[in-house]
Structure 1
Amino acid sequence: MKIRPSSAARIRARYLACCLAGLLLLAACPARAQERVVVVADSWMPYNGTPGSAREGYAVEILRAVFETRGFTVDYRELPWKRAVRDVRSGQADILIGVTPDELPDFIYPKTSLGRSELCFFTMDSGWRFTGPQSLTGVVTGYVQGHNYPGWFMEAIGRSPERFHALHGQDAFARMLAMLAEGRVQVIPGNRAVVDYYVQQAGLEGQVFVAGCSETGAHELFFGLSPANMPKSRLLADILDQGVYTLRNTGQLNHLLIKYGLKDWLKPR
């Protein structure tokens, strides 16, 4: 029996409605996936520390303040640095804490930085000074494998690997400081805020000295977002820019930083 025109029209309308509902459902899937933001890095306080602790680090607290108020769940995990980089690059994680565009140029970056890092050298020998690459001759220097160091530093390792001791894995920086305290290395390079934090935690105040800083080691730090998770990463970068702007202009950022004994890395306008 033939279907009357009115019945056929109703069937077509139902069919189109079902198709539209299916398309809307598919469009909603990416939005649901974006509700969870996986953040990874190795322990590098005061930027990031133990997940779930009262002091997860100011970078993690920024992420929570920005994303959780917008309905996202921040899943922060502490991983060895090399694995953290690999997971974000492959899309298994969304955000890496404390990187630079020069270090990982394939990553996606917000416009807003996470702070400024200056490469300084620390020792327990108050008579030793860093005056340039040549001053590392005659001392054993520890470093964290996979971290971003100036080209001249990596070239020095290549020329004289016996004068450098590489650490990697969990709590690499804390273990490197312990090696300095034990005399197994004589010098360690690092971000001043990071070294100051771990020195205080280890009770080594007054025993570890900043011996000078590299003129070529200063750079802006950023959150690095996964190049494999587009367009999600672009969306997260935009949210970060807007969120940090709000935190800064409402005074929430300063309040958050005070907890870690820090000040805003940008001069007030």
Structure 2
Amino acid sequence: MRAWLLAMLWLLSAGTLRAETLVIAGDLWCPVNCAADAERPGIFVELAQQIFAESGIEVEYRVLNWARAVADTRSGRLGAVIGAGVQDAPDFVFTPTAPGLSRMCFYALRGDSWRYQGLESLGQRRLGAINGYSYGAELDLYLNRHLQSPQVQLVIGDKALATNLRKLRRGRVDVLVENAWVMEAVLAERHLFNEIVEVGCRQGDIPIYLAFSPRLPRSADYARLFEQGLQRFQADGRLQALMSRYGVSSMR
């Protein structure tokens, strides 16, 4: 009997050691993905964990700066990057369905009379953005064209949005561009609604994905499993329930 128990324990231990793990990463972009040790690590993180758990795959989530997360996923050191648009990494493996949509808006200090009315309205405004992000084809082209001028200031790091907010409040940039409900969540958390306001939005929403590594043989399988899970979660209401827990009524 004792030998049987020991054999069972060994088999269980071996099974645990062989458990498949998918490592995903992104920089802090709450509520898409939040702190790794948070009670609520983010909509995309929980969605991935729950979907892959149904196939016996464990999801490990890491917080990295955006440029490194993309580079490490491209090289195969990571399995997927969180919240990527197709233009962020066109060589990655994407699902047919986007788990969310990103609406990019512009933010300035309250009292600033400037309003975004197309790229030409940016004029001599000093625009703060995050290195490596895609903001849509037209705005990406604008950022690249003015990269070496004071008109565009890109930041990197795990807390890039916080850095941009400090720069705006200290007058080092005039306007920021950021996902609308990500910014709303940050402004609410930091009680900055009376100080920083939306001053217009870029037209056209950007689909955002859990984008899988082009180097890993299992990426096509992961994308298929995730797509199937998305369809299930949308159909039975679990996706909407998950979003509601983060205070998101729709993926803008």
Which protein is bigger by CA-based radius of gyration?
1
Partner of 2:125: 139
Displacement of 1:265 in angstroms is: 3.8
Partner of 1:77: 62
Q: Deviations over 1:103-129 (max 9, x none)?
A: 311100111212111221111144220
Which letter maps to 1:175?
T
1:208 aligns with 2:196: yes
Q: Identity over the aligned pairs, expressed in percent?
A: 30
Displacement of 1:152 in angstroms is: 3.9
Q: List alignment gaps of at least 5 residues for structure 1.
A: 1-31
Q: Deviations over 1:155-213 (max 9, x none)?
A: 44434611222110111112212222232212000110111111112210232211111
Q: Residues 116-155 of structure 1 correspond to what in structure 2 (within 5 A)?
A: 116-126=101-111, 127-155=113-141
Instruction: State TM-score, norm by structure 1.
Output: 0.80
Q: Among 163, 172, 179, which residue is 1:184 paired with?
A: 172
Which letter maps to 1:204?
L
Instruction: State TM-score, norm by structure 2.
Output: 0.86
- Once residues 50 and 134 of structure 1 are traced to their aligned partners in structure 2, the CA distance between those partners, rounded to angstroms, is 37
Partner of 1:195: 183
Aligned to 1:206, what secondary structure does the other structure show? coil
Aligned to 1:162, what secondary structure does the other structure show? coil
- Once residues 87 and 111 of structure 1 are traced to their aligned partners in structure 2, the CA distance between those partners, rounded to angstroms, is 23
Partner of 1:221: 208
- Once residues 43 and 71 of structure 1 are traced to their aligned partners in structure 2, the CA distance between those partners, rounded to angstroms, is 27
CA contact (8 A) 1:145 1:166 kept: yes
Partner of 1:108: 93
Displacement of 1:48 in angstroms is: 0.4
- Once residues 240 and 90 of structure 2 are traced to their aligned partners in structure 1, the CA distance between those partners, rounded to angstroms, is 30
Partner of 2:233: 247
Which letter maps to 2:69?
A
Q: Deviations over 1:25-50 (max 9, x none)?
A: xxxxxxx57x1000011111110011
1:99 aligns with 2:91: no
Which letter maps to 1:224?
A
Higher mean alpha-carbon deviation, 75-84 vs 125-134, is at 125-134
Aligned to 1:161, what secondary structure does the other structure show? coil
Aligned to 1:177, what secondary structure does the other structure show? helix
Bigger proportion of residues as helix: 1
What RMSD, in angstroms, separates the aligned Cα atoms of the two structures?
1.8
CA contact (8 A) 2:108 2:196 kept: yes
- Once residues 187 and 169 of structure 2 are traced to their aligned partners in structure 1, the CA distance between those partners, rounded to angstroms, is 10
1:167 aligns with 2:152: no
Partner of 1:67: 52
Displacement of 1:76 in angstroms is: 0.4
CA contact (8 A) 1:113 1:222 kept: yes
Number of residue pairs the alignment of both structures matches? 232
Aligned to 1:243, what secondary structure does the other structure show? helix
Displacement of 1:139 in angstroms is: 2.1
Q: List alignment gaps of at least 5 residues for structure 2.
A: 1-17
Displacement of 1:264 in angstroms is: 4.1
Partner of 2:4: none
Aligned to 1:209, what secondary structure does the other structure show? strand
